[in-house]
Structure 1
Amino acid sequence: MFDLLFLGFGEIFRLDILIIIFVGVVFGVIAGLIPGFTVAMAIVLTLPLTFGMDPVSGIAAMIGVFVGGMSGGLISAALLGIPGTPSSVATTFDAYPMAKKGNPGKALSIGIWSSFLSSIISLFILVTIAPQISRFALKFGPWEMFALICLALTIIASVTGSSIIKGLIAGLFGLLISTIGADPIMGFARFTFDLKVLRAGVPFLVVLIGMFAISRLMESLERSEMKKDLEAKQKENASEVSFVLKPIQTLKTVLKKPGTLFGSSVIGAVIGAIPGAGGSIANIVAYDQAKKWSKDPNKFGTGCEEGVVASEAGNNSTVGGDLIPTVALGIPGSAVTAVLLSALMVHGITPGPLLVVDEPSIVGGIFVAFFIASFGMLITQFIGMRYFVKVTQVPTHLLVPIILVLCVIGAYVLNNRVTDLYILLAMGIIGYLFTKYKFALAPAIIGVILGPIAEVNLRRAFMTDQDWTLFLTRPISLTFLILTVISISFTIWQTKKTNERTRA
């Protein structure tokens, strides 16, 4: 563990990388505070900029955006009552009432400190647990890896959508996309339908940009009238904002609630480690648990300090938890870490259990970059708060064309192929239809990432031994397959119970 940290400090403590991290944090905060502009979109737009960097610098930049984006949603949630990101929904429950009572600075300061301290707690959990999981995963053969990916896909499908069926369909769609193009072992073309545009396959980065960014832009254009009303509300509320930040005083306030801070941080880290769960679930669950364990639950929702601490701690601690399966197993914990894995693959680094052994400097760099980015978030939030607030007043009709241009450039520079732009448009339309009909995007994206890994391991298993019962007779593989069935069964039962309760 300490060896990885020492390697990480050696890689990260360079002036150019520190500047890159801080710039990433600033961009992440700005992206997080703009309602509708998700952290995943910010990461996708950052990815093309990292192509010319070395792997450590590129990953450090994206970690900075990740940490900044997760905390940026606090600003619009507290000042406008509008969650900047889906992971700051519960923050509005108490931060906005506190701001409306004349204490916006207090609400923001408590949220910033809670974000920072929870990030440090989740970093400790990440550094402690991830290398141990990775060492255990070195015992995996192709049977265990295939079973593990099956488990990851079912968990993703079950927790990122309102319908388990729609979640599974989205995941299977991603797997289908991953089969187009060259066979990973034999090399011949397949499922191209004699279309030249598909012979080189469907680049996963183009799928990411298309389904996440382009589809959101289409959705924004469709809601143009609603956006005008939202912008009017943003300007009206932002013009009334006048606040004084008191860092030392609010730090003492947060530290007086150690149970809420630590408990919410652990909840966030655990939920973040579940592939596909993410900050939106952690944000609400942490808030709910803090309210249940509170001596006075009725104060929640009225501008309660404890509510702000719980929601922001649960939200930001998911970053460390999210990185656990990403670093230890090469399985993305969310769409954001799927992009991080994509960045590694672009630089020729294969994610997986061997990452800690083969690329210890990269893993250590991720740990230290997360640590530096947390401090960067704390500093930039307190220093730049007044300037960040002004971003909430930028009209959406100005943001849409800028983001569109960045998306097109990012998709083109990957392979310098015009055909990728056609795929980008097609993926954008598909992503828009997914969103319109309430299909989760994350299972599809992660299906594209995990599909080739699943296929390669399945084929390696049968090339090693034709006996399919090895999937059931090897203990670790059998355990993962049982957990897969349990995951789907539990979600179906939970969904059925929720529907019955709603009808009642």
Structure 2
Amino acid sequence: MHDSLMQLMYGFGVALQPDNFMWCVFGVLVGNLIGVLPGMGPLSTISMLLPLTYVIAPVPAILMLAGIFYGSQYGGAIGAILLNLPSHPPHAVTCLDGYPLTLRGKGGTALGITMMASFFAASVGIVVMIFLSPLLVKAANSFGPADTCAIMLLGLLAGATMARGSPLKGVAMTIFGLLCGAVGTDEMTSTARYTLGVTELRDGIELGGLTMGLFGVADFLVSVNRTTISPSRARVRMRDMRPSVAEMRQSFWPMLRGTGVGTLFGALPGTGPTITTFIAYALERKWSKTPERFGKGALEGVAAPEAASHSKTQVDFIPTMSLGIPGDAVMALILGALIIKGIQPGPQLISDHPDIFWGLIASFWIGNVLLVILNVPLIGVWVRLLQVPYRFLFPSALFFIAVGVYSTRNNLFDVAIVAAFGVIGAILLALEFPLSPIVLGFVLGPMLEPNFRRAMLLSRGELSVFVTRPVAAGFVAASALLVLVQVVAWWRGRRRAQAA
């Protein structure tokens, strides 16, 4: 424990360096902004800013991307509570009680409780990360290639089968992402794979090009005709955001339970924040002695899901940084950014790059304090930004996407890659295919393949290595159980449909 606290102090020294602090502030501000704007989620924003990480040092680059991720969670609650506008899926459940509170003149109170719940839950998530990550690293140092391969398999299946919509579509998109990750030159045989004779593809598909196309251009193509909502009721004064002692007491235990739910689900790959917030809300309603108040303006219905969302956001970094296994598409992008900078996430990250790991943890506290301070005076500004017409917002984003991807290598072929994946993404969205599993497959595929090959070399081609090693066998069993649960759920749904 003493060593962890000393390392944390070192992390604060790293995070408070002027350059690193500036990028942290930039990240949380941008994240807060895009959290308010519907459609501009952290995934598309990180995709657009990924080229910027090529020209700045690794530490500020990761602090900026992380700030965008957890900053967006704060902003998303503003539109949900004041306008009944869930800018992002995790905040849809916040609308159920947040907007009725606004209609009763309690919108400021709901925002105040949200900020308290968010900061408390994020702090708990940071503490869990401080003490759990080193323990995971100690365990992971004994992992062999077969164990690592099995863990990645579970991450891929979890991300695929727990995506919104059909699990089969999620698996299909994961396989598509794996195929995209295989494009380029085989590192073992130095032969070109799936390049279709295009010389530029020998170096593989750029992560930035793929993500900017799928989540930037595709979103523009789908949302180009979207209209705006006039925030007629979104009038909140600073003094309205101070909840009473009774209201704070009423929200404390829901906040605590929501934090527990988010912390638990944060360590599990593939369980997105949407699932977490709905489970926290359902649990709170079940726990309540007056469940009929929910949906009509219960503070507990705001405190619990928001706490769950923020604790999960922080704990999500544990498997990503400690094991190199991203829990969702945003974590996969941050993982990809580390790889681009020549840093391999995993058990060696803490010892090889303590400035990145401990600086990141310290920046979480700095960023969350900044968000609490900044959100109070800036809420009016964020709400006014919701009136910006999409016909101005998205073409501007499209322009910056093109400039950003071209500036990385001064190659127009990269712009063509963005355009191609933009069209592919728009078609997939129209067909209701989830896009997040593509990123998981694309990032984990190039890491899964060499570990599988090494496992086969060490076992002389015996696939039994995945069931004879205890760790590998456990994760393979978990993967099989996950698939079985999805099959049973599909079968029951089909039986109900036939009975109806």
Sort the TM-score into its range (normalised by shorter chain).
over 0.9
Partner of 2:184: 181
Post-superposition Cα deviations, 1:186-227, rounded to whole Å, max 9, x if no partner, equal 322111121223222111221111111111111112xx1xx2
> Shift of residue 248 of structure 1?
4.4
Post-superposition Cα deviations, 1:378-429, rounded to whole Å, max 9, x if no partner, equal 1111121111111111111111111101211222223222111111111111
Amino acid at match of 1:435: L
**Could you tell me how far apart the structure 2 residues matched to 1:23 and 1:251 are?**
34
Matches within 5 A, 1:478-489: 478-489=473-484
Name which of 480, 489, 492 aligns with 1:494: 489
**Could you tell me how far apart the structure 1 residues matched to 2:244 and 2:144 are?**
51
**Could you tell me how far apart the structure 1 residues matched to 2:56 and 2:337 are?**
10
Q: Does 1:241 align with 2:244?
A: no
State the TM-score, normalizing by the size of structure 2: 0.95
Q: Does 1:132 align with 2:135?
A: yes
Name which of 218, 223, 226 aligns with 1:220: 223
| Contact 1:276 1:334 survives alignment (8 Å) | yes
**Could you tell me how far apart the structure 2 residues matched to 1:110 and 1:482 are?**
41
Amino acid at match of 2:366: I
Flag the 1:284–1:499 CA change in 2: closer, same or farther, 3 A.
Answer: farther
Between stretches 60-69 and 462-471, larger displacement belongs to 462-471
Between stretches 46-55 and 334-343, larger displacement belongs to 46-55
Flag the 1:96–1:52 CA change in 2: closer, same or farther, 3 A.
Answer: same
Matches within 5 A, 1:111-126: 111-126=114-129
| Contact 1:322 1:333 survives alignment (8 Å) | yes
Partner of 2:143, secondary structure, is coil
Partner of 2:203, secondary structure, is coil
Amino acid at match of 1:424: V
Flag the 1:46–1:254 CA change in 2: closer, same or farther, 3 A.
Answer: farther
| Contact 2:183 2:193 survives alignment (8 Å) | yes
| Structure 1: stretches of 5+ with no match in the other structure | none
Matches within 5 A, 1:57-72: 57-72=60-75
Partner of 2:408, secondary structure, is helix
Q: Does 1:44 align with 2:44?
A: no
> Shift of residue 456 of structure 1?
0.7
> Shift of residue 501 of structure 1?
4.5
**Could you tell me how far apart the structure 2 residues matched to 1:44 and 1:145 are?**
27
Partner of 2:25: 22
Partner of 1:386: 380
Matches within 5 A, 1:287-366: 287-366=281-360
Partner of 1:419: 413
> Shift of residue 373 of structure 1?
1.1
| Contact 1:112 1:378 survives alignment (8 Å) | yes
**Could you tell me how far apart the structure 2 residues matched to 1:271 and 1:282 are?**
7
Q: Does 1:430 align with 2:430?
A: no
Amino acid at match of 2:147: E
> Shift of residue 254 of structure 1?
3.4
**Could you tell me how far apart the structure 1 residues matched to 2:354 and 2:367 are?**
20
Name which of 457, 460, 470 aligns with 1:463: 457
**Could you tell me how far apart the structure 2 residues matched to 1:430 and 1:273 are?**
32
| Contact 1:103 1:243 survives alignment (8 Å) | no
Flag the 1:99–1:304 CA change in 2: closer, same or farther, 3 A.
Answer: same
Partner of 1:257, secondary structure, is helix
Flag the 1:250–1:438 CA change in 2: closer, same or farther, 3 A.
Answer: farther
| Contact 1:113 1:251 survives alignment (8 Å) | no
Amino acid at match of 2:150: A
| Contact 1:212 1:428 survives alignment (8 Å) | yes
| Contact 1:22 1:64 survives alignment (8 Å) | yes
Amino acid at match of 2:489: Q
Partner of 2:164, secondary structure, is coil
Name which of 406, 413, 416 aligns with 2:400: 406
Superposition RMSD in Å = 1.7
Name which of 456, 472, 497 aligns with 1:477: 472
State the TM-score, normalizing by the size of structure 1: 0.94
Partner of 1:258: 252
Amino acid at match of 1:426: A
Partner of 1:198: 201
Amino acid at match of 1:175: L
Name which of 144, 149, 153 aligns with 1:146: 149
> Shift of residue 368 of structure 1?
0.8
Q: Give % identity.
A: 32
Post-superposition Cα deviations, 1:156-189, rounded to whole Å, max 9, x if no partner, equal 1111132111111110110011111111223221
| Contact 1:164 1:491 survives alignment (8 Å) | yes
Flag the 1:429–1:375 CA change in 2: closer, same or farther, 3 A.
Answer: same
> Shift of residue 6 of structure 1?
2.5
Name which of 364, 373, 377 aligns with 2:371: 377
| Contact 2:113 2:243 survives alignment (8 Å) | no
Partner of 1:170: 173
> Shift of residue 446 of structure 1?
0.7
**Could you tell me how far apart the structure 2 residues matched to 1:277 and 1:448 are?**
19
**Could you tell me how far apart the structure 1 residues matched to 2:60 and 2:182 are?**
31
Between stretches 314-323 and 143-152, larger displacement belongs to 314-323
| Contact 2:250 2:299 survives alignment (8 Å) | no
**Could you tell me how far apart the structure 1 residues matched to 2:254 and 2:64 are?**
31
> Shift of residue 318 of structure 1?
1.5
| Structure 2: stretches of 5+ with no match in the other structure | none
| Contact 1:164 1:492 survives alignment (8 Å) | no
| Contact 1:254 1:261 survives alignment (8 Å) | no
Post-superposition Cα deviations, 1:457-491, rounded to whole Å, max 9, x if no partner, equal 11112233313322221111111111110011112
**Could you tell me how far apart the structure 2 residues matched to 1:251 and 1:319 are?**
28
Partner of 1:274: 268
